[in-house]
Amino acid sequence: MNDRHSPHRWLPPEWAAQQFVVLTWPHDRSDWGDDLEAADSTFRSMAHAIASEERLVIACRDQAHREHVAALLGQLSAATFCIAPSNDIWVRDHGPITVIRDGRLELLDFRFNGWGNRYPADLDNRVTATLVEAGAFADFIHTPVDAVLEGGSVETDGEGTVLLTSRCLLHPSRNGAVDRDWVEARMQEWFGCAHVLWLDHGRLEGDDTDGHVDMLARFAPGRRILYTACDDPADSHHEELAAMAAQLREFRNRDGDPYTPVALPWPPALHDSDGKRLPLSYANFLVINGAVLVPVYGVDTDRDALTRIAEAFPGRQTIPINALPLVRQHGGVHCATMQVPFAAR
């Protein structure tokens, strides 16, 4: 590694070459209820799209669930199935964050407390260790970390900068009454990232993560930041997201160069059966080798979102994924996946 990064750890950007993607498959002992069949369908679409580019590691609840998932996927040779009981599917937050440490892959296994003890998380908190024990991560360093950190709350450009939201990282339900200095020191220690950008604005109604950055703003190659933008002054999100956009325009990378903010379209409001607004976000995409999986919602703005994301990731196919079953449980495509890179840069 060059001297732009920690000599010990480097957190690759999502568009770096990947070995595989981890999924924790939906099952009937979580909150899916009547939506389980729809969740299976969305996961099947994601799995086939990912398997066309790289391998999959799929965590199943038990042997019966493993057989069910294998039957859904058919002859998918790129998939490795492991038994790892879970409370729910959101592997972005309960799965490992992989860094490159002195040329080796290291799984940072943070504590997961159900987004500030909102939801049961005892099984989720053990998924990474169970997958390690099952041999899913051969030759990786497995490092348990005695701190709460969710993968959806951290975004990197791969050049020593991380993008965080103060609403989430400083929330006392995660690590108590910590301050920015504490968090910034941990970003250097864990990820080798000495340059921290804090978003102090931006929220989505229905998002119960205290403002994960992967619903709001995402790095892309060429110093771009794709972000959730609201162009409707009458919408309750407009003021907060406009303030977030203003912050993004002021951000500089580690060398002092500006980023290019790219606004993603604002989808029309959709609500759940109780009338609560759903947290729709096109920023919750997943980058894989050769493609980007883009959440779509069956609305007119889907096409524009696919176009803008394709322009930000030239040379990659954009694959629409029906994210409505996921967003009804307040998550999305990125929330339900976790990529694992190669050790080589």
The predicted pLDDT at position 31 comes to 84
The predicted pLDDT at position 199 comes to 98
User: For 6-20, 50-64, 140-154, 180-194, which range has the lowest pLDDT when averaged over its residues?
Assistant: 6-20
Residue 42 amino acid letter: T
Reported as a single tens digit per residue, the pLDDT across 260-270 is 999 999 999 99
The predicted pLDDT at position 75 comes to 86
Task: State the average pLDDT over residues 298-311.
Answer: 98
Taking every pair of Cα atoms in the chain, the longest distance, rounded to a whole number of angstroms, is 54
User: Can you read off the two tokens belonging to residue 15?
Assistant: 């568009």
User: Can you read off the two tokens belonging to residue 157?
Assistant: 């450009």
Quick check: 43 and 35 in contact, CB under 8 A?
Answer: no
| DSSP-derived secondary structure for 187-236 | HHHHH---EEEEE-----TT--SS--GGGTEEEETTTEEEEE----TTST
With the CA atoms of 138, 93, 42 and 82 taken in that order, what torsion angle do they form, in degrees rounded to the nearest 10?
30
Quick check: 71 and 77 in contact, CB under 8 A?
Answer: no
- Counting Cβ atoms within 10 Å, is residue 234 exposed (0-12), middle (13-18) or buried (19+)? exposed
The predicted pLDDT at position 162 comes to 98
Task: State the average pLDDT over residues 115-136.
Answer: 97
Reported as a single tens digit per residue, the pLDDT across 81-124 is 999 999 999 999 999 999 999 999 999 999 999 999 999 999 99
pLDDT band, residue 3 (cuts 50/70/90):
very low
Whether the pTM exceeds 0.75: the reply is yes
Whether 315 shows a pLDDT value over 90: the answer reads yes
Whether 312 shows a pLDDT value over 50: the answer reads yes
Whether 218 shows a pLDDT value over 70: the answer reads yes
Return d(Cα 78, Cα 10) in angstroms, integer: 27
Whether 1 shows a pLDDT value over 70: the answer reads no
Positive or negative, the CA dihedral 248, 302, 37, 76 is negative
DSSP 50: H
For the chain, which domains are there? Answer: 9-341 (3.75.10.10)
Task: State the average pLDDT over residues 222-230.
Answer: 98
Return d(Cα 284, Cα 90) in angstroms, integer: 13
Task: State the average pLDDT over residues 290-298.
Answer: 98
Task: State the average pLDDT over residues 226-233.
Answer: 97
Task: State the average pLDDT over residues 136-140.
Answer: 93
Residues 6+ apart with CB under 8 A from 173: 113, 115, 116, 117, 210
